[in-house]
Structure 1
Amino acid sequence: MASIDVFNHQIPAEPDFGYSQAIKSDHLIHVSGQLSLDEAGDFRHADDFAAQLKQTYANFDKVLNHYGATRNQIVSQTLYVVNLRQNATATAEGNLAYFGDHRPVSTVLGVPELTFPEQVVEISFVIDTKLPA
């Protein structure tokens, strides 16, 4: 039987919406859409794509740290981007800055809106802890 380990940022949205930030089952970790929230769960960096992307990846790093995983073990990411054509270059630049030489599979979807009115990016991930760190 696979063991399950659940991770949360301990912010109000998690119990209010009934979800977890990440669940590890055996060697795979599935991570909910990360976004630009601070430690208290308040949305930050309204309408600033680059700042939201940076905060989103920083929040995801907390998930990696919890599981002792590294960016090299990320196998997949899905980015949801408002105004994709306008934010395509910043999306690519942020992605390259975050991953360096690592190349997980990636899907980028242009969406009309996200949870918060000023939110312009959200990213979900899959991590395989059996891969070399």
Structure 2
Amino acid sequence: MRRIPSGAPWEDRVGYCRAVVHGDQVWVAGTVSVGRTGHVHAPGDVGAQAERCLEIIADALTQAGTDTAHVVRTRIFVTDMNAQTQAAVGAAHLAVFGAHRPASTMIGVAALAAPDYLVEIEADAVLPTRVPSA
């Protein structure tokens, strides 16, 4: 089993890591829209937050040895299930996964880790099949 940390301070405080690889499977933890400075990225803009979540997930997948084309399931948690939120988050998801659509669920929740976080996304993936060289 291989663990892929992100370096976020929450990992040590809570006891988790960004992703875990076991066999040919990869699980990416719930990911919020953290900017490179450690602050909330794009407060108030759920679409931009979803895009940032997916960027972080894509980076973790790359570190795991796979990519978004090998994601088999996503779970999307939003703090508001209104039509605008669903459209904005859906557009960000479609931009990343439109060519390789995973099973997906969008769930409305009362709150996330901090009030400015509007969306959290987690992903399950597989490692690409390696073709043995002849």
| Fold shared, TM-score > 0.5 on shorter chain | yes
Number of equivalences? 129
Task: Specify the alignment match of 1:48 in structure 2.
Answer: 45
The runs of at least 4 consecutive aligned structure 1 residues that moved more than 4 Å come to none
Answer yes or no: is 1:30 the counterpart of 2:24. Answer: no
User: What amino acid maps onto 2:9 in structure 1?
Assistant: P
Cα RMSD, aligned residues only: 1.5
8 Å CA contact retained: 1:114, 1:120: yes
Preserved CA contact (<8 Å) 1:11 1:40: no
1:13 partnered with 2:10: yes
Inter-partner Cα distance in structure 2 for 1:71 and 1:127: 8
* Separation of aligned partners in 1, 2:29 and 2:5: 10
Task: Work out which of the residue numbers 74, 86, 89 in structure 2 matches 1:88.
Answer: 86
TM-score by length of 1: 0.89
Point out the more displaced range, 93-102 or 25-34: 93-102
User: Structure 1: which 5+ runs fail to align?
Assistant: none
SS at match of 2:53: helix
The amino acid of 1:28's aligned partner reads: Q
Distance in 2 between residues matched to 1:130 and 1:101, nearest whole Å: 16
Give the whole-Å Cα distance in 2 for the aligned partners of 1:50 and 1:130.
29
Matched, 1:101 2:99: yes
Q: Give 3-state SS (helix, strand or coil) of 1:29's partner.
A: strand
Residue 118 of structure 1: aligned partner: 116
- Aligned equivalents of 1:10 and 1:31: distance in 2? 14
Q: What displacement does 1:101 show? A: 1.5
Q: 1:7 to 1:40 in 2, by over 3 A?
A: farther
What is the identity, as a one-letter code, of the residue corresponding to 2:10? A
Identity of aligned residues (%): 26
Unaligned runs of 5+ in 2: none
Does the Cα contact within 8 Å between 2:66 and 2:128 map onto a contact in 1? Answer: no
Equivalent residue number for residue 75 of structure 2:
78
Structure 1 residue 70: Cα displacement: 1.6
- Tell me which amino acid in the other structure corresponds to 1:31: V
TM-score (norm 2): 0.89
